[in-house]
Amino acid sequence: MKILVTGGLGFIGSHTVVELQSEGFEVVIIDNLSNSSEEVMVGIEAISNIKPIFEKLDLREKSAVQSFFEKHHDIKGVIHFAASKAVGESVENPLLYYENNLSTLIYLLQELQKKDEASFIFSSSCTVYGQAEKMPITEDAPIQSAMSPYGNTKQIGEEIITDVAKVSNIKAILLRYFNPVGSHPSAEIGELPIGVPQNLVPFITQTGMGLREKLSVYGDDYPTPDGTAVRDYIHVVDLAKAHVIALKRLLENKNLEKVETFNLGTGTGSSVLEVINAFEKVSDKKLNYQIVGRREGDITSAYANTDKANEVLGWKAQSTLEESLASAWMWEQKIRG
Ligand code: WQD
């Protein structure tokens, strides 16, 4: 069974390709290498002993997308990761985000709606909830107006998929990730942020390696137990496994609605200081950090109610925060060692 993974050389994409291949799927990767490297193919093959098909292609080129689907007409399912995902950058350059994240989705869906049936897994984000009223966050928590163009592209993306699924043979599952962290236990693949990391965990591991002088903790005046913001940090391999389960659900026609939505988190919230303490424990290093002011656009707290994913998908995150941080630290040491 041939599956397309767009953005398959990226952080979550590459881990999902490995899980798909271990389940016997034939994988075709599309990636434009704007935020990844072809080197990742080596890591994927080192783990799976299978080399996926790779097509360097920019999904913003409509004609290229059409030719791709003519060539790979036997594709049965798509897992769509390819998108720009830096919140801050999206505020400075909204059109880059609206063009890249939405036109690519539209061109993919235009090809899929020509098929007798198509299964589509969409990489969404807990960012669609904004600052949810109630913790832990359930899938029916209200969608609040987006705090960034990035978050807006995820909200609009979900709406486009829902509208198209109503009038086509496309079945879809929207996966709303909380905070993906960690790396494959083999340390053959992991997170490769380009430039100064925006996200907490890669900044911590780079500080642990001495690549960054110190971590800035963005605010300790939030209404949380220790004053720092709370998030739900989920291991990327747990996340990848959920994608394969969701895809099989659609391929086997087990979905109860044309479009289903699942929160993917651990169900546990951890504050920034708790992440720092956990890192110091697993790395046996003292982390150099300084409390500074809040980051614009950050929310106080977000962690998932995972009942629906547990009960309907039969999926539950396995890794603890410490295990996730240990894998991220091992990866950082390997790539910088
Ligand atoms: C986590 C916490 C920061 C860096 C974003 C996107 C989300 C998803 C994951 C794509 C926050 C604090 C961070 C630092 C810090 N991306 N922090 N110092 O903002 O929860 O989510 O990335 O899907 O959509 O919104 O993740 O890792 O940037 O921040 O104190 O140097 O760590 O304030 O409380 P975030 P993050």
State the residue range of the domain holding 80.
2-181+234-264
Instruction: Write the burial class of residue 209 (CB in 10 Å: 0-12 exposed, 13-18 middle, 19+ buried).
Output: middle
Atom of ligand 1 nearest to the CA of 126: 24
Does residue 110 lie within any of the structural domains? yes
Does residue 188 lie within any of the structural domains? no
- How many helices (H) and strands (E) the chain has is answered by 12, 13
Amino acid at position 252, single letter:
E
Pocket (CB within 6 angstroms of ligand 1): 85, 87, 125, 127, 177, 179, 198-200, 203, 215-218, 229, 231, 272, 295, 298
Atom of ligand 1 nearest to the CA of 201: 27
Residue positions annotated with a catalytic role: 150
CATH of the domain at 284: 3.90.25.10
Nearest to 182 by CA among 47, 304, 278: 278
Indicate if 210 and 282 belong to the same structural domain: yes
- Domain-ending residue, one of 222, 243, 264: 264
Atom of ligand 1 nearest to the CA of 148: 25
Nearest to 282 by CA among 188, 218, 208, 225: 208
Indicate if 60 and 147 belong to the same structural domain: yes
Indicate if 116 and 156 belong to the same structural domain: yes
Indicate if 241 and 225 belong to the same structural domain: no
- CB within 8 Å of 221: residues ≥ 6 apart: 227, 294
Specify whether the CB–CB gap between 123 and 12 falls below 8 A. Answer: yes
Residue 3's φ and ψ, nearest 5 degrees, are -120, 135
CATH of the domain at 25: 3.40.50.720
- CB within 8 Å of 129: residues ≥ 6 apart: 137, 141, 142, 143, 144, 176, 302
Distance from C-alpha of 162 to C-alpha of 174, rounded to nearest angstrom: 10
Nearest CA to ligand 1 atom 4: 200
Q: What is the pLDDT of residue 147?
A: 87
Indicate if 74 and 104 belong to the same structural domain: yes
Q: pLDDT tens across 201-223, in order?
A: 999 999 999 999 999 999 999 99
Strands 289-292 and 233-235: unpaired
Q: Which DSSP string corresponds to 136-164?
A: SBPTTSPPPPPSSHHHHHHHHHHHHHHHH
Q: What is the pLDDT along the chain (337 residues), one digit of tens a residue?
A: 999 999 999 999 999 999 999 999 999 999 999 999 999 999 999 999 999 999 999 999 999 999 999 999 999 999 999 999 998 899 999 999 999 999 999 999 999 999 999 999 999 999 999 999 999 999 999 999 998 999 999 999 999 999 999 999 999 999 999 999 999 999 999 999 889 999 999 999 999 999 999 999 999 999 999 999 999 999 999 999 999 999 999 999 999 999 999 999 999 999 999 999 999 999 999 999 999 999 988 999 999 999 999 999 999 999 999 999 999 999 999 999 7
Does residue 56 lie within any of the structural domains? yes
Indicate if 226 and 240 belong to the same structural domain: no
Indicate if 204 and 244 belong to the same structural domain: no
Distance from C-alpha of 251 to C-alpha of 270, rounded to nearest angstrom: 35
Q: pLDDT tens across 22-68, in order?
A: 999 999 999 999 999 999 999 999 999 999 999 999 999 999 999 99
Indicate if 159 and 274 belong to the same structural domain: no
Indicate if 117 and 42 belong to the same structural domain: yes
| Number of domains composing the chain | 2
Specify whether the CB–CB gap between 46 and 73 falls below 8 A. Answer: no
